[in-house]
């Protein structure tokens, strides 16, 4: 299976000794995340604390505490500058990347450049200005997924299979592994999202079938789009080709809708709301809801009272208009579908099933375009598109941990490389060793020659990507070979070898032919990544933030317990038939004093509330005892 290249040594050491405990599968999504595990002899999607089967991938910071998931999403309109979403679109990227610069125009929170051009998210937390990396924000979401799973399973969770878009590059995959380490999870595998969906299909449809089926997975989520073609026969899943775009999803459709209504509002009222973060956030929420409604209805209202300066936005959007303004994105999806089928060396008629994954795959126009592309073939809607990826990840987690049944144990998975791998030659040219969509494990060798006279050393720079110009691809790592015997240009030769094992770990070696002089590298690509010290600091910070969250929870529970006791006691005494006027006045005075104290001590700590509880008990309990 092609996952990220080798896990950095620092991550290996940080997660060492953490393998004891249950294993789970996590779909770490751009907009929503989902967690699943093996329980009751089947894969179960684990509901969060609100009972929802998916959790918003959002983190909010306030003057008193931190909120994650539904709690963060519910307060975003009132706290737009300190509510972080879309962190997956920043993970493993550079601040200067065009996609980052483009997205920043739609984010109310601030993104600033950090060291090595790393994007940092700046927020106000507990009265201080803080900067967090995308890995840290993602780790907070992963921590919540871990906590949700532990509460549901009733046991400690240490290991996880986490999914990523198929077209995530090595840096983005490694950053996801780092996020897991910060969250205290041992990420045993990183698996491509459409491959996880193929596993879910196998579990639902293919485990009992011995007839080979070619399945196309159409995975359109909140931030990314992936499409893959896999052949499923008996207990074998063989991925034939993958294609995708790490910057194409429901968020882009929301952006287009927001722009549409910003222009409409300005045309009708003369007011430009684009500079008002709160108004833009409220409009975005309304557009996201409308997008969901249009999957089942032909039109829906957009109604926001007092959007800006007391002016309301009352409008309507029809499904036809939504399709029209987003047709460019829909066409791009279909181009990638066509490319994937072509790369799999198949005819459209050879595809037996089209499986929809991701919330945006529910869009009727896209389903219609897929049906037309595949000559009238109906798309498969029996698998839950929001849960399929997490379900597939949990299958692999259960298989790796030995928790599953025979069907899971027999499952064999063959993946492909998502991007071409090669080295720099002739100054600025990419020499491809392993083309994209090559089945793995694989091993490729080439003979290279020196580029200059009397060369005594050679630098080998390893890249991934599809561009012929090397600098437009992604540098994975580099190594040198020293002590080459003097010789004219082109005389000295090297045997270069690229080797990817079944876990997707890439080893690159170069050997001088004649002397046996050799050097090699296991790609870890530390460039632009978190350093050892940064990861260690973030793990410490994560523990500190969790303690702060627990302390805040304890305070809220202590206050709630105190208020319940005070009000219940007051009501009990007031409604009692046998109570003296003296005791009643004593109770009323104590209760009035308590409410005033509560008003003046909104930020009191748990111990203060417990102490106040003792004071009330000394007054109320004797009166209640006397009554009884």
User: What's the full length of the chain, in residues?
Assistant: 628
Q: How far is CA 354 from the centre of its chain?
A: 24
Smallest CA-to-CA distance from 408 within 425, 426, 391 is with 391
| DSSP run (H or E) holding 188 | strand 186-192
- Residue 249's Cβ-side half-sphere holds a number of Cα atoms within 13 Å equal to 26
Smallest CA-to-CA distance from 85 within 58, 112, 124, 119 is with 58
Smallest CA-to-CA distance from 227 within 365, 342, 397, 386 is with 342
Interatomic CA distance for residues 264 and 302, integer angstroms: 12
Bridge partners (DSSP) of residue 119 are 113
Bridge partners (DSSP) of residue 292 are none
- Reduce the secondary structure of 536-604 to three states and give it as a string: HHHHHHHHHHHHHHHHHHHHHHHHHHHHHHHHHHHHHHHCCCCCCHHHHHHHHHHHHHHHHHHHHCCCC
Interatomic CA distance for residues 355 and 227, integer angstroms: 10
What's the CA angle centered on 357, arms 354 and 363, to 5 degrees?
85
> Among all chains, which residue has been given the structure tokens 């507990």?
126
> Is the peptide bond preceding residue 329 cis, with omega within 30 degrees of 0?
no
Interatomic CA distance for residues 370 and 335, integer angstroms: 11
The answer to whether 90 touches 100, Cβ cutoff 8 Å, is yes
The answer to whether 237 touches 411, Cβ cutoff 8 Å, is yes
What's the CA angle centered on 446, arms 440 and 450, to 5 degrees?
145
Cα–Cα distances in Å, from 450 out to 122, 426, 509, 560?
48, 10, 16, 75
Q: Phi first, then psi: give them for residue 112, nearest 5 degrees.
A: -125, 155
Interatomic CA distance for residues 475 and 422, integer angstroms: 10
Bridge partners (DSSP) of residue 449 are 493
Q: Which residues are catalytic?
A: 27, 88, 193, 219
The SS3 of residue 413 is strand
Q: What is the largest CA-CA distance in the chain?
A: 111
Q: Phi first, then psi: give them for residue 110, nearest 5 degrees.
A: -95, 135
Q: Is the dihedral of CA 155, 201, 55, 187 positive or negative?
A: positive
Interatomic CA distance for residues 206 and 198, integer angstroms: 10
Exposure letters 608-624 (e unless 16+ CB within 10 A, then b)? bbeebbeebeebbeebb
Interatomic CA distance for residues 307 and 281, integer angstroms: 10
Interatomic CA distance for residues 189 and 178, integer angstroms: 13
């Amino acid at each position: 299976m092609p996952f990220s290249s080798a896990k950095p040594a620092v991550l290996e050491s940080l997660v060492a000794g953490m393998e004891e405990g249950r294993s789970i599968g996590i779909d770490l999504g751009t907009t929503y995340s989902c967690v699943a595990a093996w329980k009751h002899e089947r894969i179960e999607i684990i509901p969060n604390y609100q009972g929802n089967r998916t959790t918003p991938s959002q983190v909010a910071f306030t003057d008193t505490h931190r909120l994650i998931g539904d709690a963060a999403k519910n307060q975003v309109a009132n706290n737009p500058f300190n509510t972080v979403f879309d962190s997956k679109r920043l993970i493993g990227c550079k601040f200067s990347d065009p996609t980052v610069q483009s997205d920043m125009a739609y984010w109310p929170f601030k993104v600033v450049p950090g060291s090595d051009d790393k994007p940092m998210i700046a927020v106000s937390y507990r009265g201080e200005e803080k900067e967090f990396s995308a890995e840290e924000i993602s780790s907070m979401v992963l921590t919540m997924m871990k906590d949700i799973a532990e509460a549901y399973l009733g046991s400690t969770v240490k290991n996880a299979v986490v999914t990523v878009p198929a077209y995530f590059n090595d840096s983005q995959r490694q950053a996801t592994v780092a996020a897991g380490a910060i969250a205290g999870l041992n990420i045993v595998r990183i698996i491509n999202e459409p491959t996880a969906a193929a596993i879910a299909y196998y579990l639902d449809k293919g485990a009992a079938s011995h007839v080979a089926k070619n399945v196309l997975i159409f995975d359109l989520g909140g931030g990314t789009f992936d499409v893959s073609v896999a052949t499923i026969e008996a207990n074998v899943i063989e991925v034939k080709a993958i294609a995708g775009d790490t910057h194409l999803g429901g968020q882009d459709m929301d952006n287009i809708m927001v722009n549409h209504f910003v222009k409409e509002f300005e045309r009708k009222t003369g007011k430009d709301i684009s500079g008002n973060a709160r108004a833009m956030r409220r409009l975005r929420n309304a557009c996201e809801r409308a997008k969901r409604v249009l999957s089942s209805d032909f039109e829906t209202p957009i109604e926001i009272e007092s959007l800006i300066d007391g002016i309301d936005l009352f409008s309507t959007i029809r499904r036809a208009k939504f399709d029209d303004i987003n047709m460019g994105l829909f066409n791009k999806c279909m181009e990638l579908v066509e490319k994937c089928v072509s790369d799999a060396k198949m005819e459209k008629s050879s595809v037996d099933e089209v499986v929809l994954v991701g919330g945006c795959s529910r869009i009727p126009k896209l389903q219609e375009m897929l049906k037309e592309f595949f000559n009238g073939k109906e798309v498969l809607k029996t698998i839950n598109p929001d849960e399929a990826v997490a379900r597939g990840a949990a299958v692999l987690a259960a298989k790796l941990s030995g928790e599953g049944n025979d069907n899971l144990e027999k499952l064999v998975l063959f993946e492909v490389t998502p991007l071409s791998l090669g080295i720099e030659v002739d100054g600025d040219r990419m020499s491809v060793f392993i083309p994209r969509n090559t089945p793995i494990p694989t091993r490729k060798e080439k003979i290279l020659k020196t580029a200059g006279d009397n060369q005594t050393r050679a630098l080998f720079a390893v890249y991934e990507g599809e561009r012929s110009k090397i600098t437009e691809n992604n540098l994975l790592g580099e190594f040198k070979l020293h002590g080459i015997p003097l010789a004219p240009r082109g005389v000295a030769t090297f045997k270069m070898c690229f080797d990817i094992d079944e876990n997707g770990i890439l080893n690159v070696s170069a050997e001088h032919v004649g002397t046996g002089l050799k050097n090699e590298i296991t790609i870890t690509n530390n460039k632009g990544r978190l350093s050892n010290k940064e990861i260690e600091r973030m793990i410490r910070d994560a523990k500190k933030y969790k303690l702060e969250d627990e302390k805040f929870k304890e305070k809220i529970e202590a206050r709630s317990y105190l208020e319940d006791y005070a009000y219940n006691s007051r009501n009990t005494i007031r409604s009692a038939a046998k109570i003296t006027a003296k005791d009643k006045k004593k109770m009323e005075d104590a209760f009035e004093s308590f409410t005033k104290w509560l008003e003046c001590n909104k930020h009191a700590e748990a111990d203060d509330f417990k102490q106040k509880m003792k004071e009330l008990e000394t007054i109320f309990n004797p009166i209640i005892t006397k009554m009884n």
